[in-house]
Amino acid sequence: MYFTKSDLPLSSEMLNFWNDNGYLIIENFKTNAECDDLINRSKELIEEQDFNNQQSVFDTVSQSHNDDNYFLESGDKIRFFFEEKAQLNESNLKKNKQYIVNKIGHALHDLDDKFIKFSKNHDLNEIAKAIGFQDPLLLQSMYIFKQPKIGGEVVCHQDSTFLITEPESTVGFWFALQDATKENGCLQVASGGHKGPLRKLFKRENNKMKMEELSSEPFPETDTFVEVKKGTLVLLHGRLPHYSCENTSPHSRHAYTLHVIDGKTKYMDYNWLQRPNLKLSGFKNA
């Protein structure tokens, strides 16, 4: 079911949909111009980067980045991760820079003016409050490229596996910066699957990551395709199993996602994402 920005503030129908399904689609949340601003800024950030000394791949299938310090120390920085299928040769690293990046993370929302403007927003604060946050805090941001032809699969997961608080509070605020379709790898969700158990916890131990199994219950099928237009906001409950397939189409699928936690909960010190040099803030403190 699709709602639109004009349905805000969150109606009881929207709240019921969120509670029943663990996701919520709000169309026309951002304007085309706001999306283009972020797309252009991501291009500039890549253009400014010298990739010759940095070649960290982000691959949710092999999880090869897990013990990589470049990744583990990126919680309070702006860092760049490559597509697993990108050919990282000299020519691509110089001439095709725009087509080899898988994502930029993880503190864009605190460190870059354009991303701060996009992320710190009154309406987002109101939505967060309506779905139960007392003190929403912006923990993580990612610009996800899903590059044409080589955009990697994001394996089925629950966000609370990777960002856990006690009690659980993580919610994803995912923005389509371009149209997301079945062809270019839109999100797929297991509607209602947030009512199942948390399956895994990604834990830092002595600066090594390990995946602890909490439940062997298989994920339900992620058979709801979230095909959305540019500018749509999709909320994802921290326990909702979600997935996106490889992009084999000629069209990119850019998205920006924010992961939000409640300041009233305890952020676990074994989370991979730590921000020793950045204080957390909410949607309002731009």
Ligand X SMILES: O=C(O)CCC(=O)C(=O)O
Q: Least CB distance from residue 174 to ligand X, whole Å?
A: 5
57 vs 93, which CB is nearer to ligand X?
57
The reply to whether 164 sits near ligand X by the rule CB under 6 A is: no
The reply to whether 170 sits near ligand X by the rule CB under 6 A is: no
100 vs 154, which CB is nearer to ligand X?
154
144 vs 228, which CB is nearer to ligand X?
144
Site for ligand X (CB under 6 A): which residue of 141, 160, 191, 244?
A: 244
What span, in angstroms and rounded, lies between the C-alpha atoms of 275 and 8? Answer: 33
24 vs 144, which CB is nearer to ligand X?
144
What are the DSSP E strand ranges found in the chain?
Answer: 2-4, 23-27, 78-82, 101-106, 136-144, 154-157, 165-166, 171-176, 187-189, 200-205, 208-213, 224-226, 233-237, 242-244, 255-262, 266-267
Site for ligand X (CB under 6 A): which residue of 159, 168, 227, 262?
A: 159
247 vs 265, which CB is nearer to ligand X?
247
What are the DSSP E strand ranges found in 134-254?
Answer: 136-144, 154-157, 165-166, 171-176, 187-189, 200-205, 208-213, 224-226, 233-237, 242-244
Tell me how long the chain is.
286
34 vs 159, which CB is nearer to ligand X?
159
In the DSSP assignment, the letter for residue 222 is -
Q: Least CB distance from residue 244 to ligand X, whole Å?
A: 3
The reply to whether 242 sits near ligand X by the rule CB under 6 A is: yes
Give the residue closest to ligand X by C-beta. 244
The reply to whether 174 sits near ligand X by the rule CB under 6 A is: yes
User: What are the residues whose beta carbons fall under 8 Å from the beta carbon of 15, sequence distance 6 or more?
Assistant: 130, 131
The number of helix segments (H) and strand segments (E) in the chain equals 7, 16
The reply to whether 75 sits near ligand X by the rule CB under 6 A is: no
* Two structure tokens written together for 92: 């691509």
Mask 183-222, x = binds ligand X (CB under 6 A)? ----x-----------------------------------
* Two structure tokens written together for 130: 């309506």
Which residues make up the interface to ligand X (CB under 6 A)?
A: 144, 154, 159, 172, 174, 187, 242, 244, 255, 257
